[in-house]
Amino acid sequence: MKKYDVAIAGGGVIGGSIALELARAGLRVAVFDRQKPGQEASWASAGIISPAPENPGMIATVELAKCSAALYPEFVALVEELSGQSTGYRRKGTLEAIFSQEAKEELSTIIALHHGLGLKAEPLRAEDARELEPALSDELQAAALRPEEASIDNRLLTPAVFEAAQRSDAEIFPASRVKGIWREGMRCRGLLLENEKVQAQWTVIAAGCFSGTLGGISAYAPVKPAKGQMIALRTDDLKIERVLWSEKVYLVPRNDGRILAGATVEYVGFDKRITAGGIAKILAAAIELAPDLQDARIEETWAGLRPDSADHLPILGPTDLEGLLMATGHFRSGILLTPVTARLTREWITEQRVSVDWGRFSPLRFAAAGAAQRAPA
């Protein structure tokens, strides 16, 4: 029987980063994944690092997101040093484009919201925005510049994280399907694989949208997959420096010259098929934002499955089973929240305290809700 200090279910960038943190703290750590690590949401993401809330419901994550974004330079430096690999980190900011006829009022609201949340944002006239990013449409009415935001090439980051984790003595087990947790009374003893048990003092569930399918986990992590379709474009004549964002689409430049466009949000189960309607929607919005993209070559299309919780907030922290922690439900913020999720998980396991309050994201919020629903009237 394999025995570890910590067993992690899920080989995405979050599971790998938790393993890296814990291994560097001197713990014996193992990651188990049903396939080669990093092939699900971590591979499909756009890699945007923005603490700005996409909607009012996401304001609850802003402090956590600010902390994670602030950790990124140190996190990237560590991963690149240990792995010897580049991660494609670009700290060039985001430009949010506004097309509405009420652009002045909308821009004022956006700037006030960001400043109220402690986020840097600068109002720009349309002509000033186009001077920064000439690819922007002439139909642009105004823009907000978020100068401190960044992006990262997640397809470079994830293998670099796992290389760094292995060089720090974490063990990685691909093709090791986790069936559920090994529970005895009110203690989690480890993981149940298809043909063996793995014993661990601490067990971390970081299996993304598959977390809720593991035996014994659904009460803590009722996550469902939210499909996002994406396109990689390439053009010889168009240069975009920053992440460009509109209410319909985002464009993310990569260091290799590609421009990523996405992404839809679809609740269609575990279906990752590319659809004509999804691609048409992305292309139309991308060309509206940057018209010269109509001549771009389509290099690749793909879809990924984000782990979405019932309230669209992350599921982080200890459960009422001794030794069991959740690190899932990150929805559209998995890459963004990777460093802080790894840091807090390591702090809890090694020190039984955390440096950022994660109580709002406790997995017990779902277990309590489920118990209330089952209680007799």
Q: What pLDDT, on a 0 to 100 scale, did the predictor assign at position 375?
A: 42
Q: What pLDDT, on a 0 to 100 scale, did the predictor assign at position 177?
A: 96
Assign residue 329 a region (left: φ > 0; alpha: ψ between -120 and 50; beta: otherwise).
left
Contacts of 344 (CB under 8 A, 6+ apart): 316, 317, 354, 355, 356, 358
Q: In whole angstroms, what is the distance from residue 356 CA to residue 354 CA?
A: 6
Q: What pLDDT, on a 0 to 100 scale, did the predictor assign at position 355?
A: 97
Q: In whole angstroms, what is the distance from residue 13 CA to residue 6 CA?
A: 17
Both tokens assigned to 370:
């489920």
Q: What pLDDT, on a 0 to 100 scale, did the predictor assign at position 372?
A: 45
If you write DSSP's letter for every residue of 263-326 in order, what string do you get? ---B-BTB-----HHHHHHHHHHHHHHSGGGGG-EEEEEEEEEEEE-TTSS-EEEE-SSBTEEE
Q: What pLDDT, on a 0 to 100 scale, did the predictor assign at position 373?
A: 46
Which residues in the chain show pLDDT less than 70? 368-377
The answer to whether 17 and 344 are in contact (CB under 8 A) is no
Each residue of 351-370: pLDDT tens digit? 999 999 999 999 999 876 55
Q: Walk me through the domains of the chain, giving residue ranges and CATH numbers.
A: 2-83+154-223+310-374 (3.50.50.60), 94-150+225-307 (3.30.9.10)
Q: What pLDDT, on a 0 to 100 scale, did the predictor assign at position 370?
A: 52
pTM more than 0.85: yes
Phi, psi of 66 (to 5 degrees): -60, -45
